[in-house]
Amino acid sequence: MSEVPSQYQLGDMGMNVDDAAPEGAVAAHDRDGDGKVDLIAYDRDGDGRVDKVVFDEDGDGVADHVALDRDGDGRIDFVGVDRDQDGDIDSVATDTDGDGTLDTVRHSAE
């Protein structure tokens, strides 16, 4: 039995769009036209709605942003950023009151 990756895991990036098929992925895009995937959308719970999006904002082939709909209401309520490219999320913005606006931002001490 394979272990389900954490919803916060950034995952692989930089592959060819035709070769991109991570488990649970519903779409992979090359937004900047360089031939490498820089956005992957997932439907982790199988309800037909995207609930996780992973981005490579700087185009280096390494994921650096993750956006989540953690409560399944169809709105992003968590955005995590790996600012130093070490694979760990360093900054997060969350919607703490459920109004659809990211209103709390936290940064790691490192």
Residue 79 sits in which domain range? 17-107
Per-residue pLDDT reduced to its tens digit, 40-75 = 998 888 888 999 999 998 888 888 999 999 988 889
Domain tally, the chain:
1
Residue 7 belongs to a domain: no
Residue 5 belongs to a domain: no
Residue 100 belongs to a domain: yes
Q: What's CA 27's distance to the chain center, in Å?
A: 12
User: Residues 6 or more apart from 19 whose CB is under 8 A from it?
Assistant: none
Q: What gap in Å lies between CA 34 and CA 53, rounded to an integer? A: 19
To which residue do tokens 């982790």 refer?
A: 44
Q: What's CA 107's distance to the chain center, in Å?
A: 17
Task: Report the predicted TM-score, pTM, of the whole model to 2 decimal places.
Answer: 0.81
Residue 9 belongs to a domain: no
Per-residue pLDDT reduced to its tens digit, 69-96 = 998 888 999 999 998 888 888 999 999 8
Residue 22 belongs to a domain: yes
